Amino acid sequence: MQDALSTAFIDARTLGIETWPILGLQTWEGKVVEVDGDFIAAELTPMNGKGARTILRTDFRTDSLDLGDHVLVAGDLFYMTSRKVRVRGRLSTSYSLQIRRPGNWTEADLAEIRARTQARIEMLNENAE
């Protein structure tokens, strides 16, 4: 009997004939609520518009996020994608989590953005009258 780990994932005999459909794809925005050692507690909100007011609270292992050199703290944001795939008749669900890195904004950046926003609001108000 051949070791299952050494078996090729793609069966070349069925390539192009058999499809492995994605049965469901869900995207979520997450917010870290608590960090406790190897686990994080997070709140998830669906991004697909369905149940937009729904907040799901769940736990993840910290090693499930690709953090690079980032140290995870409460308040950090991330994206999660879950999908169900049928492979050779078996249903499998996979999850992908990615830390959201919105960048560092200085007070000068924020002041410039506010000024541009105010100018556009004034322009829109003038054109609406």
Residue 2 lies in a domain: no
Residue 37 lies in a domain: yes
Residue 119 lies in a domain: no
Phi-psi region of 51 (alpha: psi -120 to 50; beta: other; left: phi over 0): left
What pTM, to 2 d.p., does this model score?
A: 0.55
Reference 55, options 66, 46, 64; nearest CA is 46
Residue 123 lies in a domain: no
Count of structural domains, the chain: 1
* Residuewise pLDDT in 10s, the chain (129 residues): 344 443 344 444 444 444 445 557 788 888 999 999 888 898 888 887 665 577 888 888 877 776 777 788 898 888 888 888 777 778 888 878 888 877 777 888 888 989 999 988 888 888 776
Whole-angstrom distance, CA of residue 21 vs CA of residue 61: 28
CATH number of domain containing 44? 2.40.50.140
Strands 65-66 and 90-99: parallel
Q: Quote the DSSP letter at residue 117.
A: H
Residue 34 lies in a domain: yes
Find tokens 């051949």 and name the residue: 2
Residue 95 lies in a domain: yes
Q: Which domain holds residue 93?
A: 8-104
Residue 117 lies in a domain: no
Whole-angstrom distance, CA of residue 129 vs CA of residue 126: 6
Residue 127 lies in a domain: no
